[in-house]
Amino acid sequence: MAVWINFDYTSVGEQISPNEVEMLRKRSKVPEDTAYKVIQVGAELRRQYKAGDLPYGPSLGDLINWATLVHDGNTPNVAAEETIIALTSDNTEVQGDVRRVVESIFNKPQGP
């Protein structure tokens, strides 16, 4: 007998789950603002995945792995190359799309 249970993501697109941010922060030990941005990237990639634009949407575990590398001293962009960018696809165009999402969130100018 097989059972299929479908769990949806808690953060998708503009909807960011504070619980997911907090869980990532606790597990990876990154600052809250970094945790929020990591979840923001994940939420946008999940939105694109659900829309059929990406072949894979990152799990919370994938995002924790990325954030852990950031905590260990890597920049978010470098850590993303080793985790979610490589994980999403072998296709360089798809990787470029993921890279642009990461850069758009982590390279935003900070407000005053």
- DSSP codes, 34-50: HHHHHHHHHHHHHHHHH
Please compute the mean of the pLDDT values over residues 81-106 and round it to a whole number.
95
Above 60 in pLDDT, residue 30? yes
Please compute the mean of the pLDDT values over residues 7-30 and round it to a whole number.
93
Please compute the mean of the pLDDT values over residues 75-88 and round it to a whole number.
95
Above 90 in pLDDT, residue 24? yes
Task: List CB contacts of 25: < 8 A, sequence separation 6 or more.
Answer: 31, 32, 35
Residue boundaries of the structural domains of the chain: 18-106
pTM over 0.85? The answer is yes
pLDDT at 17: 95
